[in-house]
Amino acid sequence: MYCELEYIGKIENAKAFQSFYFFFRQTTLACIVLLILEIVLQLLSLFSFFSLKAPETNSILWLAALLIILLFNSIQLARWYRKRMVMKMYWAYFTHLNQTLNN
């Protein structure tokens, strides 16, 4: 379906939604990586032999809360854009099949 729509040039709307889906999927991955990195660095700062200065707990909590909110928003938006992408693709293929059968 995707290849045929790409060949006839009727997939531009679905590709726009696909781009947004990829963006929010990558944002979700970035939030997960940053949260893991934040936890690891916080744990490493507890040990004195690494010579790391312990960050303020308040700033760590605000950053974690911001990342968690961004993570959940990105997950929801990625799911929505994926559903819309698939619906646009099916609709374009359905109209293409109807035009082909009617001719």
pLDDT digits (tens, 9 = 90+) for 43-94: 877 777 766 677 788 888 899 999 999 999 999 999 999 999 999 999 999 9
Euclidean distance between CA atoms 14 and 62, whole angstroms: 37
Which of 16-20, 31-35, 54-58, 71-75 has the weakest average pLDDT?
A: 54-58
Judged on CB neighbours under 10 Å (0-12, 13-18, 19+), 61 is: exposed
User: Under a CB-based contact definition with an 8 Å cutoff, are residues 40 and 93 in contact?
Assistant: no
Encoded tokens for 12: 């531009």
The pLDDT value recorded for residue 50 is: 65
In angstroms, the CA 78 to CA 84 distance is: 10
Query: Cα separation of 34 and 71, whole Å?
Result: 10
